[in-house]
Amino acid sequence: MITIELVKQIEPQHASYILEQQKNFPYDYIRGIRKDSLISYLLDDIKKHFTRKDTICFLSKIKDELVGFLILQTLTWDSEIFGFPSARIKYLFSIEDKFSASIKDALLKEMINWAKEKGIKFIDCHLHPLDLSGISSLTKNGFELIATHIHHVWDFRKEFSLSFTPKTYIKFANTDDLPLLESISEDIIPYYNRFNLDEKIRETGKVPLMFKEWLKNSLLGRAKCVLLAIEDNKVVGYTTVVVKEDTRSTLGLTLADVELTGVVPTTRNKGIYRDMIITAVNWAKENNIDIMEGVIHACNAPANVIPPQLNARVLGAHHTFHWHAD
């Protein structure tokens, strides 16, 4: 019989026991990294979550033996933007055997009951496409697949060169450019973003506000690099790069993500997106980034064509699931 416990944190040795059995990990695109280093990174990230007040953990046991865990993070910023309590499943792991789906199903059922009691209205979860037991359990418990993103990866650990030169004027933005960001029109928001694809979230009318605040926060420190494409003294595109410096101590690597990218529809097909990515790649290389990743919706064919042209490799993907209380 599977029993579920709600706890304030999970002991490192217990988390390590489950992680050591995993076949598929987040950051699957990192090649040449020992499994123990990857587990060390995940344990460090889990430990950091429990120093915050917004993290809840559910443990799954069979005959008092730990067989899985789920870590849920409540999302204050998202909740304030959308106007309803929101949360995210950060980790959903179980032992890798015939009971995996049942264990994750039990964890999700208990988590959803807890979430409903606390008034949480929305939960999202990113999952590896090969986590079939996780996919089965999420869909069984009312989560809907909302997006699949392809992972494009630039690896600067070996000799890397890029011969392309941007033709568009790309500005490295700073806080003085906040008025420029505030002037960006709503149609610059990517159509394929998962919040726009979710009808219930789209109907709140808050998706444009979320992206503008996200961009603003990026410029105020969330991102290490914020690029603005300028044409006729107007912003026609943006790209942000977030750096994960804490991975240096556990993975021995500095990672970066191309987090936000958008181009004004009326200026598309002019090479602006490509020029912003060229600039971001050159910036990453010059700033000692080891690996930079950009994730693009699987259906966004025009965007998915560009990174491989700029020496990126496709090294993974992830599904995103959304759950709504009603």
Contact by Cβ (8 Å): 269, 140: no
Top CATH class of 152-317 equals alpha beta
Which SS3 state, helix, strand or coil, does residue 118 take?
A: coil
Specify the pLDDT at position 265.
84
Residue 147 has pLDDT above 90, yes or no: yes
Q: 186 CB contacts (<8 Å, ≥6 apart)?
A: 208
The topology under which CATH files domain 2-142 is Aminopeptidase (3.40.630)
Tell me what the mean pLDDT of segment 169-192 comes to.
85
26 pLDDT exceeds 70?
no
The pLDDT, as a whole number, for residue 305 is: 96
Query: Between residues 252 and 243, which one has the greater pLDDT?
Result: 243
Spatial separation of the C-alpha atoms in residues 64 and 88, rounded to whole Å: 27
User: Domains of the chain: which residue ranges?
Assistant: 2-142, 152-317
Q: What is the mean pLDDT of the chain?
A: 92
Confidence of residue 316 (pLDDT cuts 50, 70, 90): confident
**Do the first three CATH levels of 2-142 and 152-317 match, i.e. the same topology?**
yes
- For 27-84, the pLDDT digits (tens) are 555 666 778 888 888 999 999 988 988 999 999 999 989 999 999 999 999 999 999 9
Vertex 35: Cα angle to 33 and 39 (nearest 5): 110
Contact present, 127 and 134 (Cβ < 8 Å): yes
The pLDDT score that the predictor gives to residue 152 is 95
Residue 109 pLDDT > 90 = yes
